[in-house]
Structure 1
Amino acid sequence: MTTIATTDVLTERGAELRAEGEVNERLGKLSEKSVEIMRQSGVMKLLAPPEYGGTRAHPAEFAEMVMKMASLDGSAGWVAGVVGVHPWELELMSPRLQEEIWGLDNETWVSSPYAPMGVATPVDGGYKFTGHWQFSTGTDHADWVILGAFLADRSGEKIMPPRFLHVVVPRSDYTIVDDSWDVVGLKGTGSKDVIINDVFVPEYRVVDQTDLFSGKVARDAGKTEPIHRLPFYSIFPQGLTAAVVGIAEGALQAHLDYQSSRVQINGFKSVEDPYTMYAVSEAAGEIRASRVSLLDNINRLYDTVAAGKEISMEQRAVGRRTQIQAAWRATAAIDTILARSGGNGLRMNNPIQRFWRDAHMGTAHAIHVPGPSYHAAVLTELGLEPPVNLAAAV
C-alpha cells in the first residue's frame, strides 16, 4: 500500500539510506543525508493533515512505509515510526497551533516523549511548565516537541489522583542534552534528553490525555475521519512495532546476503547445511507472520470505525497484544538468525549485529512491555472488565 512517491524514492535511494546506518550510529543521530531521504520519501507526511501537505493516509500504508525504511536502517525507521505519528495527534489540536508549526514550513518535525516527566502548573492564560525528559527520538531534527506532564494545582502540587497532559513546546523553549544518548541499540535515533525550566505555555498548546485517549478531543475538533476515530493506543504503537518488524526484515535480508556465499569452518557452504537453512527459514516465517498480523490488526480496527462502529475494549486490548507480540516474535526470529551467522556475523562492520541490537532496543520501549496488555486482553476475552491500571495500557 506504499505511495508511488515513497516507493520510487526508496527504490532509487535505498542503498544510500542503508549505507547511512553505520554513519548514523557513529553520529548518535540521523545524518543530514538520512533526513534528506526521509523528507523526500514523504513518510513524515502520510498521517499529516492535507491542509499542510499531508495525505492523511491509511495507517496500514504508514506501517508498511516504516517497515521498509527500518529494513534499510533501523534508526531511520524508528524515527519515522515515532515522529511520523505525531501529526495525527496535532491535527486534533488547535488550528492556531498547527499554523504555528507548519504554516511557514510543512516539513517541520515534532518529537516527543509522552512520559509525564514534567509538571504543568496553571497560570493565567496557560501553564508554567518545568521538567526533564528522556528519549526524545529524532529531537536534533525537530523544531517542536510534545511532552507528557502531571497537572498541578495553582500552588504547584500535583493533582491526585493524577491527571496527565500533553504539552507542545517550540525549540526555543527547551534545551537538548547532547551527551545523553549512549545506548546499545537504535543509536542513530538521537533520542536525547530535553529540559524545560519555568516556561510559559499557552492553553491552546495543551491537551488533556484522558480526553485524547477517550476520543473526546477528536469529537470536539469535529474530526470524523476513520483514522481520527481510532484509539490512541491503536495508532501510536503501530509505528514503533512496524519499525521493529522492519528491522527484523532488514536483519533477514542482511543474513541471506551474507549466507549466500559463506563457507563454514568445516568446508561446507552454508546453503548446503540443512540445519542452518531450516532454522533461518523458520525465522523468516516468523518475521512474515509478524508483518501480516500487524497489518491485519490495524486493517480490522480501521474497517470497524470506517463502518461507523465503535471499537470495543476487547478489540483494543487484543489489538495491543497483537502489536506487542509482533515485535517480540520478530525480535526472537533475529536471535535465531544471529545464532546461525557465525563469529563474523558479530563483527561491527556486519549490519546483522546492528539490526539485532536495534530490535532489542525497540522491544525495551514501554509500548512493548507485554505484561499489562496481555493481562488486559485475556480478561476481556473472559468477559471481564480490566482494572484501571491495565485498561490504561490499551
Structure 2
Amino acid sequence: MTKALDYIMERADEIRGNSAENEKLMRVADSSADVLRKSGIMRLLQPKTHGGDEAHPREFAETVMATASLDGATGWLGGIVGVHPWELAVADPKVQEEIWGEDPDVWMASPYAPMGVAVPTDGGFILNGRWSFSSGTDHCRWLFIGAMVGDKDGKPLMPPQMMHVLVPWGDYEIDHESWDVVGLRGTGSKDVVVKNAFIPTHRTLDAPKVMSGEAAKEMGLTQTLYNMPYWNVFPLGITAAVIGIAEGAMHAHVEAQKNRVAITGQPIKEDPYVLYAISEAAAEIQASRSALIETTCRFYDKVDAGKEVTFEERAIGRRTQIRAAHRAVRAVDEIMDRSGGGALHLRHPLQRFWRDAHAGVVHAVHVPGQIYHASAFTQLGGEPQGRMASQI
C-alpha cells in the first residue's frame, strides 16, 4: 500500500464514523477533511516541484476506492479534488507558485463545465458566471472552472473558445443553500458565483490544448504522468469513487446478512438465492475495479514507452471506464434488493452507499451514449467528428 492509503486505512473508523455527520452538514466534516489532508491523497498527482508525489495513477485510483468504501462523500472528494493538481501541473508556473508556493496542501474545487463568460481586457479577462456541483468547495481555497471567451457584451464568441480558469478565494462566493440532494449529500457540491472578477492571463489555460495533451508538451513536461490522455486521468477519480462506494455497499451488505433471519425463520446464510446474488455482485464489482485499473496501467505503460495512445484506444478506454461504473452500481442494486426492509433505515450504512452510488453514476463522465457510439463507429472504420469525438 502507498503512504496515503496506509494513513487512510489507519483512520478508517473515523472516516466511516463521520458518514451521518457529513450528510447532516451537507459537506465533509472537518475531521475527515483533515484526514484527507494529512494522508497526502490530494498530492498523489501533484508535481514534485511543489511537494507532490507524481505517483502512478493506479495508486491514486486505489486510494480513492479505499476511501470511498469507507464513506462515499469523503472518497468522492479524494477523487474530484485530487485530480486537479494533475492539470495545474501544465499551467503557467506563476499560478502554480501562487497556489502552492507557501502551502503545497492548498486544494482546488471545480467544476469544469463552461458556465461562465470571460471577456478579454488588458492583461487578462473579466469573469462572470454561476457554476453548479463544486464538490468539496468548503474545504478549498481556489476554483478550477470552465469558461467561454466572450465579446465586449459578455456573449460567448462563435466558434466557441473554451478556457479553464483559476480563481482565488475572495473572488467567488459559495451559495450554501444550493446543495440539498438525495445522494452524495456529504460532498457539499454547492454552486459558486463569480461577479466581475479580474483573471490575469497566467491564471488561464486553453482547454482544448489541455485535453489534447498539447499543453503538457508546450510546458516541456516529460514525466509519463503528465502526458497521459486527459480523458483517461480526468474521469479516473470519479469512477474510482463510484467503484469504491460499491465495494463499501458490498461490505455493509455482507456484514448485515451474517446474522439476519428471514421472516420464515430461515437464516439468510442458508438462502441459496441470496448467496448467489452476493457472489455475482462481488464478481461484477471486482470486474469493474480490474477493468478500470487495467486500462489506466496499459495507457501509462504505452506513454512511458514513448508511444501514442490512439483515438480508438482512448475511445475503448472511455467505454470501459463508463461500463465499469454502471456495472458496479447495478451490482449494488442486486444486493440492495436482497437486503430486506431493515436496509432502508437511515441508520443502516447500505442505504447511504446505495444512494451515493446512484448519484455518482449520473456524473457527466459516465453518460454512455456518445462514447459508445464513437468507440463502435471507430472500430468499424469510421472517424467520429465534432461532438461525437469529444470527451475522448
TM-score, normalising length from structure 2?
Answer: 0.99
2:244 pairs with 1:246: yes
* Deviation of the 1:8 alpha carbon: 2.8
* Deviation of the 1:155 alpha carbon: 4.4
* Aligned mates of 2:243, 2:155 — CA distance in 1: 42
Tell me if structure 2 keeps the 8 A contact 1:123–1:154. no
* Aligned mates of 1:13, 1:38 — CA distance in 2: 10
Once the two structures are superposed, the pairs formed by residues 209-358 of structure 1 within 5 Å of their partners are: 209-358=207-356
* Aligned mates of 2:382, 2:310 — CA distance in 1: 13
* Aligned mates of 1:232, 1:376 — CA distance in 2: 17
Once the two structures are superposed, the pairs formed by residues 10-89 of structure 1 within 5 Å of their partners are: 10-89=8-87
3-state SS in 2 of match to 1:325: helix
* Aligned mates of 1:103, 1:160 — CA distance in 2: 37
| Counterpart in the other structure of 2:168 | 170
* Deviation of the 1:14 alpha carbon: 0.4
| Counterpart in the other structure of 2:363 | 365
Cα deviation code 1:317-365 (max 9, x no counterpart): 0011111000000000000010010000111000101000001000111
* Deviation of the 1:6 alpha carbon: 2.3
Amino acid at match of 1:123: T
| Counterpart in the other structure of 2:106 | 108
Structure 1: gaps spanning 5 or more residues: none
Tell me if structure 2 keeps the 8 A contact 1:248–1:287. yes
3-state SS in 1 of match to 2:157: coil
| Counterpart in the other structure of 2:203 | 205
Cα deviation code 1:29-58 (max 9, x no counterpart): 010110111112111110011122110100
3-state SS in 1 of match to 2:18: helix
* Aligned mates of 2:89, 2:372 — CA distance in 1: 30
| Counterpart in the other structure of 2:378 | 380
Amino acid at match of 1:220: E
2:223 pairs with 1:191: no
* Aligned mates of 1:174, 1:97 — CA distance in 2: 17
Amino acid at match of 1:84: G
RMSD: 0.9
Cα deviation code 1:136-173 (max 9, x no counterpart): 00000000001111111344331112111101000110
Tell me if structure 2 keeps the 8 A contact 1:121–1:153. yes
Tell me if structure 1 keeps the 8 A contact 2:5–2:66. no
* Deviation of the 1:22 alpha carbon: 1.0
Greater shift in the superposed pair: 193-202 or 225-234: 225-234
3-state SS in 2 of match to 1:172: coil
Tell me if structure 1 keeps the 8 A contact 2:89–2:226. no
Structure 2: gaps spanning 5 or more residues: none
3-state SS in 1 of match to 2:334: helix
Tell me if structure 2 keeps the 8 A contact 1:121–1:154. yes
* Aligned mates of 1:11, 1:319 — CA distance in 2: 29
* Aligned mates of 2:283, 2:367 — CA distance in 1: 23
Amino acid at match of 1:248: A
* Aligned mates of 2:77, 2:381 — CA distance in 1: 37
| Counterpart in the other structure of 1:151 | 149
* Aligned mates of 1:388, 1:79 — CA distance in 2: 32
Cα deviation code 1:280-333 (max 9, x no counterpart): 110000000000000001011111111101111001100111110000000000
